[in-house]
């Protein structure tokens, strides 16, 4: 017994062979391409097929489900041909769809290409589940999720599909070539991965898209100082990949990884910033490895894996639909339970697999991964670094204000127009920009940080005010001195989407002006609340020793979902506010392609005069912006 123990220990600690590069590259590049397509499919479903809420939700759900159900046709097709051929056909179609999206200029072609790309990607995964050696599947799948998140972060959450010019084309073409070449070289294996790891991929894709996509999820208030958080997020993506590799051969920590995953998601949904998202990132990789512990190498295991990956992606679709549908309808339960349930599902799979396989040998963590993670993180941090713009006080008593509902940055053609929004706004030389429907990282909209991108284009500081949840709301951009800023949550009045009123005091020259920036969701009940906030802002206490002065001039602006003739406008007028755009042609602002009514406003109190005002016809949202040049007449002196 004593003579055989060292030999057994040496056998368990032997260096296992390096993975064949082709299957690993195939899975990583395939998942990156699929993630790219999903980030186009989801917002296209909302803005093009759904027309931002104009289409019946049941119709939208049926359309989305169609493209996730179609891949099940690969099951009988694999019997007629072969799983390898079916997977290869899916790979070619996925690459073609991704290249087509690079050429598409929005509209119906973008919607159809993204839809077909999702189906093609799932057919490719079905083929992989039937033919790819199981040993390195967890690392390949996790590497794809990590790689997609790293590229997304390094590109400042502005994916290549939304960028023009030859360089994005070359990058996408190179990725597609590497993907197809690795598919061609990947051998068919009689030892596929267990169905558990393939099933877990769907909920893992959901969690990676929700929690591993950007610094806004890590720390909401980092502002333009977010580069260190971006670098940290990138380092953790590499750590997650390392965890998947190590846990592929480790059995005793599956339950721990699952526990951390559920706890991280639950804490993030409870509003805790920073640490929960970091924990979730690494725990995903560890759970993937635990779920991939080897089972018996049988042909039936491969067949189960193919159906399992399609079933897991149905879980992804249902969970995403439920989570975001809660912002338009009452589900009867908090939508925060949806990602927690997805995390619990992944954790249960990992825990069950680790219980069944306690004797799998341990693999030593790959060398030099620490230095690689640090290098990639530092490089990404440098690329995304943005210097905080300096305050720029102005002399005189005039300033330009822009109020714009940007619809999460998606224009009339369904393309992400954040850079075009910033470029257009810069031509108006604004001093203050007020934005509604600002998205800081919703998976439904592609995981973009609208605010940081527009602010970078304008060279402005920004101040975010969460409304529907911590990643969706309103924002102020300005380089004027900010004397005070806050946000008041408005009552829902039975409406599912939350709203807020951002109250700001700016210094304009030697004076100050108050601004209420809001997006009313239920004006029948919220208009009086905003009127009360405007009154408080106008009558705020003066600094000691100033004495008696006129009320502070106040502006109420944003998408008020109220026309000038609505009774709710009378409530705001009773608070001392007037509508200056009536004197400038009363331009309509909605819908942007053929405006017939004005629901976007810049209302002003006594002490402010509108020098000029218009609603430019620009195609960057389903609303038109309102641009007003204002003059402070009898403004309260600043401190």
pLDDT attached to residue 619: 95
pLDDT band at 44 (very low <50, low <70, confident <90, very high): very high
Scan for tokens 């102020």, then name that residue. Answer: 476
Residues 553-609 have pLDDT tens digits of: 999 999 999 999 999 999 999 999 999 999 999 999 999 999 999 999 999 999 999
Average pLDDT over residues 194-219: 79
Task: Please give the Cα distance from 541 to 142 (Å, whole number).
Answer: 56
Residues 438-489 have pLDDT tens digits of: 998 899 999 888 998 999 999 999 999 999 888 899 999 999 999 999 999 9
pLDDT attached to residue 11: 40
Please tell me the pTM assigned to this model. 0.88
Residues 285-327 have pLDDT tens digits of: 767 766 655 543 444 455 688 899 999 999 999 999 999 988 8
pLDDT band at 14 (very low <50, low <70, confident <90, very high): very low
Task: Please give the Cα distance from 313 to 130 (Å, whole number).
Answer: 16
Task: Please give the Cα distance from 319 to 622 (Å, whole number).
Answer: 27
Specify the CATH number of the domain 12-384. Answer: 1.20.1250
pLDDT attached to residue 297: 44
CATH topology of domain 398-637: Deoxyribonuclease I; Chain A (3.60.10)
Task: Please give the Cα distance from 450 to 436 (Å, whole number).
Answer: 11
pLDDT attached to residue 222: 44
Sequence-separated (6 or more) residues with CB below 8 Å from residue 313: 68, 71, 122, 125, 201, 202, 205
Query: What's the Cα-to-Cα distance from 171 to each of 38, 160, 166, 419, 506, rounded to whole Å?
Result: 18, 8, 9, 20, 44
Residues 394-421 have pLDDT tens digits of: 888 999 999 999 999 999 999 999 999 9
pLDDT attached to residue 477: 96
Sequence-separated (6 or more) residues with CB below 8 Å from residue 614: 584, 585, 587, 626, 627
Query: What's the Cα-to-Cα distance from 347 to each of 6, 203, 419, 452, 566, rounded to whole Å?
Result: 35, 10, 40, 34, 52
pLDDT attached to residue 615: 96
User: Which uninterrupted H or E stretch holds 452?
Assistant: helix 450-458
Apex 109 CA angle, 107 and 110, nearest 5:
70
pLDDT attached to residue 571: 94
pLDDT attached to residue 145: 87
**CB 546: neighbour CB atoms within 10 A?**
12
**CB 281: neighbour CB atoms within 10 A?**
29
Joined tokens for residue 561: 């979902």
Reduced 3-state DSSP string for 497-557:
CCEEEEEEEEEECCEEEEEEEECCCCHHHHHHHHHHHHHHHHCCCCCCCCCCCCCCCEEEE
Task: Map out the domains of the chain as residue ranges.
Answer: 12-384, 398-637
pLDDT attached to residue 380: 66
Smallest Cα–Cα separation from 586: which of 577, 599, 574, 576? 599
pLDDT attached to residue 6: 43
Mean pLDDT of the chain: 83
Apex 67 CA angle, 61 and 73, nearest 5:
130
361 vs 167 pLDDT, higher one: 167
Which of helix, strand or coil describes residue 476? strand
pLDDT attached to residue 4: 40
Residues 144-174 have pLDDT tens digits of: 888 888 888 878 888 999 998 999 999 999 9
Joined tokens for residue 340: 């927690």
**β partners of residue 578:** 604
* Most distant pair of Cα atoms in the chain: their distance: 97
459 vs 54 pLDDT, higher one: 459
Residues 494-531 have pLDDT tens digits of: 888 889 999 999 999 888 999 999 999 877 889 999 99
Task: Please determine, for residue 224, whether its predicted confidence score (pLDDT) is greater than 60.
Answer: no
Task: Please determine, for residue 36, whether its predicted confidence score (pLDDT) is greater than 90.
Answer: yes
User: In angstroms, what is the C-alpha Rg of the chain?
Assistant: 27
pLDDT attached to residue 603: 97
Instruction: Name the H helices within 213-333.
Output: 215-218, 227-247, 254-269, 275-291, 299-325
Task: Please give the Cα distance from 240 to 280 (Å, whole number).
Answer: 9
Q: At what angle do helices 337-356 and 195-211 cross, to 10 degrees?
A: 150
Task: Please give the Cα distance from 71 to 60 (Å, whole number).
Answer: 19
Lowest mean pLDDT among 211-215, 232-236, 253-257, 386-390: 232-236
């Amino acid at each position: 017994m004593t003579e055989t123990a060292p030999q057994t220990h040496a056998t368990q600690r032997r260096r296992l062979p390096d993975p064949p590069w082709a299957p690993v590259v195939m899975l990583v590049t395939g998942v990156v391409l699929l993630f790219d397509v999903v980030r186009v499919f989801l917002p296209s479903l909302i803005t093009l097929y759904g027309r931002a809420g104009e289409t019946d939700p049941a119709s939208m759900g049926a359309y989305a489900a169609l493209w996730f159900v179609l891949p099940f046709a690969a099951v009988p097709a694999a019997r007629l041909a072969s799983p390898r051929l079916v997977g290869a056909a899916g790979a070619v179609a996925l690459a073609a769809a991704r290249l087509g999206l690079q050429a598409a200029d929005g509209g119906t072609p973008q919607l159809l290409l993204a839809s077909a790309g999702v189906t093609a990607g799932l057919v490719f995964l079905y083929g992989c589940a039937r033919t790819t050696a199981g040993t390195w599947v967890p690392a390949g799948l996790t590497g794809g999720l990590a790689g997609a998140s790293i590229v997304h972060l390094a590109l400042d959450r502005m994916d290549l599909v939304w960028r023009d010019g030859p360089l994005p084309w070359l990058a996408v073409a190179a990725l597609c070539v590497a993907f197809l070449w690795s598919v061609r070289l990947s051998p068919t294996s009689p030892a596929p991965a267990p169905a558990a790891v393939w099933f877990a991929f769907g909920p893992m894709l959901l969690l990676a898209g929700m929690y591993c996509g950007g610094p806004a999820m890590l720390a909401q208030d980092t502002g333009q100082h977010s580069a260190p958080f971006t670098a940290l997020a990138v380092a953790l993506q590499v750590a997650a990949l390392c965890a998947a590799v190590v846990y592929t051969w480790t059995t005793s920590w599956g339950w721990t990884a699952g526990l951390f995953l559920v706890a991280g998601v639950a804490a993030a949904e409870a509003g805790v910033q920073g640490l929960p998202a970091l924990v979730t990132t690494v725990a995903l990789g560890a759970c993937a490895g635990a779920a991939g512990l080897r089972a018996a190498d049988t042909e039936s295991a491969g067949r189960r894996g193919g159906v399992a990956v399609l079933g897991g992606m149905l879980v992804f679709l249902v969970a995403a639909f439920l989570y975001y549908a809660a912002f338009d309808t009452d589900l009867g339960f908090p939508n925060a339970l949806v990602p927690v349930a997805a995390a619990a599902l992944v954790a249960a799979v990992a825990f069950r697999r680790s219980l069944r396989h306690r004797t799998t040998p341990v693999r030593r963590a790959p060398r030099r991964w620490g230095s690689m993670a640090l290098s990639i993180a530092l490089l990404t941090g440098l690329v995304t670094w943005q210097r905080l713009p300096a305050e720029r006080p102005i002399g005189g008593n005039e300033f330009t204000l822009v109020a714009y509902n940007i619809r999460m940055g998606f224009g009339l053609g369904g393309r992400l127009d954040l850079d075009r929004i910033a470029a257009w706004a810069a031509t108006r030389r604004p001093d203050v920009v007020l934005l509604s429907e600002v998205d800081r990282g919703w998976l439904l909209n592609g995981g973009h940080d609208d605010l940081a991108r527009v602010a970078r284009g304008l060279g402005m500081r920004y101040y975010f005010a969460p409304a529907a949840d911590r990643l969706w709301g309103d924002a102020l951009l300005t380089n004027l001195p900010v004397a005070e800023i806050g946000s008041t949550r408005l009552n829902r009045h039975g409406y599912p989407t939350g709203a807020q009123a951002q109250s700001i005091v700016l210094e304009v020259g030697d004076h100050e002006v108050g601004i209420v920036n809001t997006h009313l969701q239920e004006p029948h009940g919220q208009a009086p609340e905003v009127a009360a906030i405007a009154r408080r802002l106008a009558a705020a206490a003066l600094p000691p020793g100033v004495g008696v002065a006129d009320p502070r001039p106040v502006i109420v602006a944003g998408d008020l979902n109220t026309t000038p003739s609505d009774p709710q406008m009378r409530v705001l007028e009773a608070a001392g506010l007037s509508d200056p755009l009536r004197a400038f042609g009363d331009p309509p602002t909605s819908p942007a392609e053929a405006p017939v009514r004005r629901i976007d406003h810049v209302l002003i109190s006594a002490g402010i005069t509108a020098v000029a005002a218009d609603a430019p016809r620009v195609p960057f949202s389903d609303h038109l912006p309102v641009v007003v040049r204002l003059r402070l007449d009898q403004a309260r002196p600043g401190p």
